[in-house]
Amino acid sequence: MSEITLTPRAAKRINEIMGAEPPGSSLRISVNGGGCSGFSYAFDIARSREAQDVAIERDGATVIVDPVSLEYMSGSTIDFVNDLIGQSFKIENPLATASCGCGTSFSL
C-alpha cells in the first residue's frame, strides 16, 4: 500500500484551520459510500484518534485516516487549491477511475 502525501499548501492550510481548534485537533479525511460518482470524501475536525488510525504529518499539520478509507486512498496526494471557483482541499487519487466536477466524489 502506497503512502498518502500531503503538499506544503495543504499543510499550511490545515495549520491555519487548526489554529482555531483545541490543541491536539487534526483533520480527519474519510471515504464514504455515496456521492454522484459512488464514493465521496468527508473532511472533519478530529479531537481524538482511534488506535488503528494512520496519521500523515507534514510541517506540523496532521491528517488522520481510518484503515478502511486508507485502502481507497492509497497513493493519493492531498493538496489545497485556491482558484476561481473557490478554495478547497483536492485529493489526487490514482485509484479513482472517474470523479465528479466538484472533486469530492469518485469511483473506482
Res. 1: pLDDT tops 60: no
pLDDT score for 107: 62
Kindly report the backbone phi and psi dihedral angles of residue 56, in degrees, each rounded to the nearest multiple of 5, phi listed first: -110, 125
pTM of the complete model? 0.85
pLDDT in tens, 2-59: 699 999 999 999 999 999 999 989 999 999 887 666 788 899 999 999 999 999 999 9
pLDDT in tens, 3-16: 999 999 999 999 99
Alpha-carbon distance 18 to 45, whole Å?
8
Using pLDDT thresholds of 50, 70 and 90, give the confidence band for residue 85: confident
| Residue 43 belongs to some domain of the structure | yes
| Residue 49 belongs to some domain of the structure | yes
Domain count, the chain: 1
pLDDT score for 71: 92
- Domain carrying residue 90: 5-98
| Residue 107 belongs to some domain of the structure | no
